Amino acid sequence: MAGWVTGGGLAVAGADIGLGVICWRSRTVLGGLMAAVSISLVAFALAFGPADGAVAIAFMFLAVGTVLYGIGQLLERVLNDDDVKEMA
């Protein structure tokens, strides 16, 4: 069981790093913050023994961060479309 938790933790940490890089490039704060919290939870879980609860919570932070990033991008796109229509 510990191997699955460790593997899942590393997968979540890898996805968090990817989300963090995407948020850094697009200057999105909330998604990046959720990714940073999730990375620290995975690091805590792996440092002090495999804790499946901490990895599950880290996965939830990753999911929320991804949704927040998507909502932010959608709102930015909608606001930019309104600006273009007003100028025309």
Whether the pLDDT of residue 66 is over 60: the answer is yes
pLDDT digits (tens, 9 = 90+) for 30-54: 888 999 999 998 888 888 876 778 8
| 86 pLDDT tier (thresholds 50, 70, 90) | low
Annotated domain spans of the chain? 2-87
The pLDDT of 9-22, averaged and rounded, is: 91
The percentage of the chain sitting over the pLDDT mark of 90, rounded to a whole number, equals 40
Distances (CA, A) of 54 to 14, 15, 19, 40: 16, 16, 19, 10
Q: Give the pTM.
A: 0.80
CB atoms within 10 A of CB 42: 28
DSSP, collapsed to helix, strand or coil, labels residue 48 as coil
Alpha-carbon distance of 38 to 57, in angstroms, equals 8
The H-assigned helical ranges of the chain are 2-26, 29-47, 52-87
